[in-house]
Structure 1
Amino acid sequence: MSESVELILTCPKGLEALLAQEASGLGLEEVREQPAALRGRGSLEVAYRLCLWSRLANRVLLVLARTPVSDAQSLYDAVHALDWSEHLAANGSLAVEFSGRGAGIDNSHFGALKVKDAIVDQLRARFGQRPDIDKLNPQVRVHAHLERGELVLSLDLSGHSLHQRGYRLQQGAAPLKENLAAAILIRAGWPERAARGEALSDPMCGVGTFLVEAGMMAADLAPNLKREQWGFSHWLGHVPALWKKLHDEARERAAAGLAKTPLWIRGYEADPRLIQPARNNIERAGLADWVKIYQGELATFAPRPDQGQTGLVVCNPPYGERLGDEASLLYLYQHLGERLRQQCAGWDAAVFTGAPELGKRMGIRSHKQYAFWNGALPCKLLLFRVTADQFVTGERGERRAAEAAGEAPAPSQASEPARLSEGGQMFANRLQKNLKQLGKWAKKAGVECYRLYDADMPEYAVAVDLYRDWVHVQEYAAPRSIDPQKAQTRLLDALAAIPVALGISSDKVVIKRRERQSGTRQYERQDQQGRFMEVSEGGVKLLVNLTDYLDTGLFLDHRPLRLRIQREAAGKRFLNLFCYTATATVHAARGGARSTTSVDLSKTYLDWARRNLALNGFSDKQRLEQGNVMQWLAEDRGEYDLIFIDPPTFSNSKRMEGVFDVQRDQVELIDLAMARLAPGGVLYFSNNFRKFVLDEGVQARYRVEEISEQTLDPDFVRNPKIHRAWMIQAKV
């Protein structure tokens, strides 16, 4: 088939222009771009060359016919009119893929069925046999696309998508497809750099996709040279001699390329589990002499190519999907920028990201940006020149530390974290002001954990809590009236400011998003790190977990109430309802309570409570009861001198019947608890539902005193609505 035929090449969205350049260079003519595809004309030799050499295409389709259709019958007739014996043996196998709609065909499955029926009926009528349907590995795969009343029928010459080169049998959690990785390298100018003998390094290489694609370009390896099965392998129009000629030429070019002195191509990966899979991928690609990979953290990234040549750093940082990822990603990008400024002066860098706003935090100006799509996710490729005139950093860097060690770092190795934005500096100033004021109080009071900032500036809607040398940040969800992009920018400003303002390591900052939670969602596990930290408060030791749950196991605003319970608990029988991690119970035991009983529905938090009590040497006479508090109270016959109730606003746990609502159910709850209160006893009732109103009936039946102001320490006085608390006693 030497005559010109129409060819369609499909590709990931955003790669059309690059693919058009590549395809033109491989011989395709009359090229026209379409969404996620392009069309053009060329010979069968051009089609084969595209299959073998295209680094960007997904599929190469050979168009058999374009014909108007008006309904399902005319579609059937148009397909039936082609001579399918030229393409497929009657006893072969077939798959049909259908896309588009119109002409009364609104279902792709129905459209594919009509196309299949037309092909099968024709071959069966002529030869008395029909092809089998094989959706996975057919001998011929037919594509049918219907748009605006025109049916385009094509043969898929590629078979499996061309991005599947065959070397990547092992991969990480979210790898880039090979053709997207190739497109990124092309946009970053790697083919030209490779021709000049430059180096390439990936500091977060995963299973090595960038490295292999870069090595294949540098060594002139056809990306699909090792593929054995093609869409045309059993096609009756296939010309084996022509294919063999092109394949042999590609093998000769590969041999010549691999015989050259290998370029310096290196990857580094922090996760030790990915090192061997990456090396296996490199070996399968035939690039073991060209590409090397090592285990290494970003903090130690320092490319050292031979003869000091410069080159390209390329990477695809993680995007972040879990609670608290904003903080870790911000600091990752900041550290990446820092390592580039310190260790890669004179190099260029290409950072592919689904969070381009984080690229602005690297401390280097991006001189070019390209839009891409990674599946359905819009992404950007940021290109950087790592030169001093592109830095947006200060000058101090690490000189003091080096001088203290008796060393003098070269100017290119000294750096400073990126300067804060104007808003970030304002936020940092507020943190430092609060720290100066509250730090004195906390030190004098012996408080290790306290709230430093609580949306003091409305535009920075976060709460910042100190837990010794850790920082726990809660982002309040922005109202719908706030532009989400502005809210995200302000959050990043705040996160950038926290380590600077507080003089702490960025890896000791944990962030979470706080929204109105329904049911027990605030108690659900958010992560699996299992990292507990011991803190002290009022002479007791408590365990907190900053990472795994929305709350940490210690409600800081209840500190004064817990200490009050400790002072009043001596010789008393203490009952803690909705006890959570039983921090108030530990205080009561510390205060000399005769006995304690703690009730909660969650086994997880009762186990945590048990650990808190054991940590302080309390085990005897400390009852932990798992159950629905309302039901437990109705069945309990004990008597208690001191009761503490801090209920959730809502709860609809699977263990409960119905839903607990603190506003609706307060009267029943308080009445049940007061029935268990010993004469002369005290019940402390508190909750953080901002619209809560204590029922008039409760105030009429019992002696009630609101003590909210008395239960606020200096770190919460600027947010007096954090909770409300009452002391309730029986009337005398």
Structure 2
Amino acid sequence: MSHTLSFFASCPKGLESLLLDELKQLQAEKAKETVGGVFFSGSLELAYRCCLWSRLANRVLLILSVSDCRNLDDYYNGVKAVEWAEHLGLDNTFAIDFSGGMSEIKHTHFGALKAKDAIADYFTEREGRRPNIDAQNPDLLINIRVGKGKVTVAIDLSGESLHKRGYRESGGLAPLKENLAAAILLRADWPAVAARGGVLYDPMCGSGTLLIEAALMSANIAPGLLRLYWGFDRWLGHQPKVWQAIVSEAEAIKAEALNRQWPEIRGYDASPKAVDAAMRNITNAGLEGKVRVLRKELANFVKPTHITNDYGLILTNPPYGERLGEVESLVHLYRHLGQTLRKEFAGWQACVFTGNPDLGKQMGIKSRKQYQLYNGPIPSKLLMFSIEQQYFVDDKSRQVGATVDNKTLTDVVLSSGAQMFANRLKKNRKQLAKWKKQNEITCYRLYDADMPEYAVAVDDYNGQIHVAEYVAPASVNPEAAATRLKEVMAAIPVALEVRPEDIVLKQRLRQKGTNQYQKYKEEKSYQEVTEGQTKLLVNLTDYLDTGLFLDHRLVRLKIAEMAKGQRFLNLFCYTATASVHAAVGGATFTDSVDLSATYLDWAKKNLALNGLSELSHRTHRADVREWLKTCDNVYDLILLDPPTFSNSKKMEGTLDIQRDQEEFIDATMAVLAQDGVLIFSNNHRKFTLADSIGEKYQVEDKTRWSLDKDFQRSTKIHQCWFIKHKG
């Protein structure tokens, strides 16, 4: 078959134009793009070359005939009219791959059955017997398509989809198909980046498909060299010498490539299972030493210091979530990825392939271009980024020079009481200014009932003001209390130069029982703040507390300092802020336990915001008392910070920390390593530590140490001890 033949190369939706360009580079003639593939003409040698070298096609079909198909008889006759004896021996097997349909063929099984009958009848009439069917491993796979009044009969030269290169092990993971990965790399202009000496990093590489395809592409290695089976192997028209010459040429190109300088191609993933799979795939592809994969959380993804050419491509396919809770956490993972790109990779290119493009909007970088692709049936987008200042999208800064009732702050006249309160706020802010700056504090308590008649707590969350009114005693006149609260709310915008809409007011009891967990509103408005090396989410509107207990700041920072290489447990974890500190500080792993699904979802958001995966940093929804009974882990560092009292219907019995302290401390010490540290804290203002605790364990009162400068005016807000095993 040296004459010109007709072919069709199929591909995933969205790859047609790329495949067209690829086939033209392979010298295809009369190439014409259509939905799902490209028609082209050429020699059998060209078809062989396309099978071996195409990075994008699914299948290469040799078209045997195209005939009119108005009814079932036309269909049968069109299939039977092919000279099958030129393609299939009597002792060979075949199978039918049918697609399309018409009024008399409504099911693919029926279409395949009628085609099989036509081919069987052809041989029976000619030879007196017929080849057998083998649906699983046929010698010849026959492709038949019916549509637009035509029946097209073809031989599948590929045998199985060309995306199956032969290096990827099956099972477990659900990676990108190899030809989709190749398309992503081409859209990302990886060949040009590699030609400039650029590097490629994938911070969430999974089983390494993007990395391996990038290596094969940059080295010009034929993607089909590892395949052991082809659809033409037992086809009667196969020309083995022509095929072998093409394979030998490709092997020579590969051998030469393996001895050349390669661009740096490196991947990271938080999952040990994914990293192991990637390393096996790299070995199977013959790319050991050319592609490197390491286990690393996204939180630790930074630009390596060893690279000499500070230019490259960040390319990744992050998770995109199928359930609401997953998506809400992934918002913060994408945000962390964007922050890392802006901080570490200025001047580079980045591409993110995602099935949820809205998540890409969380990255704080405007995409310069987008491509619509399909990951199987899932509509997806490839988001293209240039990591340059002009594309950075920042939150709109709050207005400076706020107004009250259309007056500038300097024009507002306060009552004597409001002015007195404003003066106290200014004084406190001035006293804390140096401490704030030296310690890089962004969230702090500015006022806490310093003047008894103004019984509020005022917290500053990076410019947003949270005001909590303590319920006045019965002896206080309600009208007087209401007046003072109005004075407070009038004074804050003037004293702190903030807009009234940046102030949130709540009424609360001093921390008693489970009031800190009570629902207040439901705006789901989260604000990102920083503390130490962590980023945390606060919500100033939805609950009486904000998700971040400011009085425990020093405890959290100490945990971050102590956590490196340690196993950390956080009991009554709330939003797991301490776990985030431990993880960022280098904890081997963290476990966070709480009974509230709401706060554990919040915890997952905090972890994702810092690029931390739930593989190493787990959350457990459970009654702490019951969870400790079945815990089989040992921890080096534990935080036990229970509520004062709880009678939740989700737990057995009630919790009274004054009464139950020994039970909880004993149970926690049972899972603490011999040289470990338990940090025990609570906000019960009248709490006293039982003498029996000091008799059994080594106890150090750390209350005074644990109160930072902004809480030293109210020393009873919490108590804290470090507890260790004796001896």
TM over 0.5: yes
Are 2:675 and 1:586 aligned? no
CA distance in 2, matches of 1:109, 1:139: 20
CA distance in 1, matches of 2:383, 2:136: 38
Deviation at 1:122, TM superposition (A): 1.5
Contact 2:623–2:650 at 8 Å: present in 1 too?
Answer: no
- Which residue identity does 2:79 align to in structure 1? V
Partner of 1:443: 510
Are 2:219 and 1:130 aligned? no
CA distance in 1, matches of 2:112, 2:343: 57
Question: Deviation string for 1:278-317 (max 9, x for gaps)?
Answer: 1110011111121011110111112325313311010000
Partner of 1:350: 351
- Which residue identity does 2:650 align to in structure 1? T
How do 1:581-620 residues align onto structure 2 when only pairs under 5 Å count? Answer: 581=650, 585-586=653-654
CA distance in 1, matches of 2:58, 2:119: 25
CA distance in 1, matches of 2:96, 2:218: 38
Partner of 2:332: 331
- Which residue identity does 1:61 align to in structure 2? L
Deviation at 1:125, TM superposition (A): 2.9
CA distance in 2, matches of 1:157, 1:383: 35
Partner of 1:51: 51
Seen in structure 2, the aligned counterparts of structure 1 residues 165 and 281 have a Cα distance that, compared at 3 Å, is same
Deviation at 1:171, TM superposition (A): 5.8
Contact 1:431–1:452 at 8 Å: present in 2 too?
Answer: no
Contact 1:142–1:153 at 8 Å: present in 2 too?
Answer: yes
Seen in structure 2, the aligned counterparts of structure 1 residues 217 and 457 have a Cα distance that, compared at 3 Å, is closer
Partner of 1:316: 317
Are 2:5 and 1:5 aligned? yes
CA distance in 2, matches of 1:183, 1:273: 26
Deviation at 1:157, TM superposition (A): 0.4
Q: What's the secondary structure of 1:23's corresponding residue?
A: helix
Deviation at 1:135, TM superposition (A): 1.5
Deviation at 1:388, TM superposition (A): 2.3
Seen in structure 2, the aligned counterparts of structure 1 residues 393 and 468 have a Cα distance that, compared at 3 Å, is closer
Partner of 2:276: 276
Contact 1:172–1:274 at 8 Å: present in 2 too?
Answer: no
CA distance in 2, matches of 1:616, 1:302: 40
Please identify, of 458-467 and 379-388, the stretch whose mean Cα deviation from structure 2 is larger: 458-467
- Which residue identity does 1:455 align to in structure 2? E
CA distance in 1, matches of 2:396, 2:23: 47
Contact 1:167–1:281 at 8 Å: present in 2 too?
Answer: yes
Contact 1:172–1:206 at 8 Å: present in 2 too?
Answer: no
CA distance in 1, matches of 2:78, 2:649: 70
Seen in structure 2, the aligned counterparts of structure 1 residues 591 and 300 have a Cα distance that, compared at 3 Å, is closer
Seen in structure 2, the aligned counterparts of structure 1 residues 591 and 180 have a Cα distance that, compared at 3 Å, is closer
Which consecutive unaligned segments of at least 5 residues does structure 1 have? 407-426, 472-497, 513-527, 536-540, 545-558, 567-578, 593-610, 618-732
Matched residue count: 498
Which consecutive unaligned segments of at least 5 residues does structure 2 have? 398-433, 441-460, 470-502, 528-538, 550-574, 585-591, 593-598, 603-616, 629-642, 667-727
Deviation at 1:199, TM superposition (A): 0.7
Partner of 2:307: 306
Partner of 1:176: 176
Contact 2:468–2:507 at 8 Å: present in 1 too?
Answer: no
Seen in structure 2, the aligned counterparts of structure 1 residues 8 and 448 have a Cα distance that, compared at 3 Å, is same
Question: Deviation string for 1:519-554 (max 9, x for gaps)?
Answer: xxxxxxxxx96614779xxxxx9999xxxxxxxxxx
CA distance in 1, matches of 2:169, 2:507: 59
Relative contact order (C-alpha < 8 Å, sep 6+): which is higher? 2
CA distance in 1, matches of 2:124, 2:618: 62
Seen in structure 2, the aligned counterparts of structure 1 residues 438 and 612 have a Cα distance that, compared at 3 Å, is farther
Partner of 1:105: 105
Contact 1:93–1:140 at 8 Å: present in 2 too?
Answer: yes
Seen in structure 2, the aligned counterparts of structure 1 residues 3 and 285 have a Cα distance that, compared at 3 Å, is same
CA distance in 2, matches of 1:179, 1:590: 59
Partner of 1:600: none
Question: Deviation string for 1:183-242 (max 9, x for gaps)?
Answer: 000000001222222110100001100000000011111010121210011111111111
Partner of 1:454: 521
Partner of 1:696: none
Contact 2:600–2:619 at 8 Å: present in 1 too?
Answer: no
Q: What's the secondary structure of 2:517's corresponding residue?
A: strand
Are 2:226 and 1:220 aligned? no
Seen in structure 2, the aligned counterparts of structure 1 residues 161 and 81 have a Cα distance that, compared at 3 Å, is same
How do 1:111-510 residues align onto structure 2 when only pairs under 5 Å count? Answer: 111-170=111-170, 173-304=173-304, 306-393=307-394, 432=466, 441-445=508-512, 447=514, 449-451=516-518, 453-455=520-522, 464-465=542-543, 469=547, 510=600
- What TM-score do you get using the length of structure 2 for normalisation? 0.61
Partner of 1:36: 36
CA distance in 1, matches of 2:311, 2:505: 50
Contact 1:170–1:277 at 8 Å: present in 2 too?
Answer: no
Contact 1:8–1:61 at 8 Å: present in 2 too?
Answer: yes
Contact 2:100–2:108 at 8 Å: present in 1 too?
Answer: yes
Deviation at 1:343, TM superposition (A): 1.5
Identical pairs, percent: 40
Q: What's the secondary structure of 2:385's corresponding residue?
A: strand
Question: Deviation string for 1:113-148 (max 9, x for gaps)?
Answer: 111111122223323332121122211000110012
CA distance in 1, matches of 2:268, 2:339: 17
Question: Deviation string for 1:618-655 (max 9, x for gaps)?
Answer: xxxxxxxxxxxxxxxxxxxxxxxxxxxxxxxxxxxxxx
Question: Deviation string for 1:385-435 (max 9, x for gaps)?
Answer: 112222224799xxx9999699xxxxxxxxxxxxxxxxxxxx999894679
CA distance in 1, matches of 2:357, 2:540: 22
- Which residue identity does 1:201 align to in structure 2? Y
Deviation at 1:370, TM superposition (A): 0.5
Deviation at 1:380, TM superposition (A): 0.5
CA distance in 1, matches of 2:435, 2:540: 33
Seen in structure 2, the aligned counterparts of structure 1 residues 79 and 187 have a Cα distance that, compared at 3 Å, is same
Contact 2:191–2:218 at 8 Å: present in 1 too?
Answer: yes
CA distance in 1, matches of 2:47, 2:232: 10
Seen in structure 2, the aligned counterparts of structure 1 residues 105 and 293 have a Cα distance that, compared at 3 Å, is same
- Which residue identity does 2:654 align to in structure 1? V
CA distance in 2, matches of 1:355, 1:264: 29
Contact 1:4–1:43 at 8 Å: present in 2 too?
Answer: yes
Seen in structure 2, the aligned counterparts of structure 1 residues 24 and 612 have a Cα distance that, compared at 3 Å, is farther
Q: What's the secondary structure of 2:204's corresponding residue?
A: coil
Deviation at 1:338, TM superposition (A): 1.3
How do 1:12-27 residues align onto structure 2 when only pairs under 5 Å count? Answer: 12-27=12-27
Deviation at 1:613, TM superposition (A): 14
Seen in structure 2, the aligned counterparts of structure 1 residues 254 and 430 have a Cα distance that, compared at 3 Å, is same
Contact 2:98–2:144 at 8 Å: present in 1 too?
Answer: yes
Deviation at 1:372, TM superposition (A): 0.5
CA distance in 2, matches of 1:506, 1:280: 28
Question: Deviation string for 1:440-479 (max 9, x for gaps)?
Answer: 72435465632464236999999944788579xxxxxxxx
- Which residue identity does 1:353 align to in structure 2? T
How do 1:599-678 residues align onto structure 2 when only pairs under 5 Å count? Answer: none
CA distance in 1, matches of 2:665, 2:237: 82
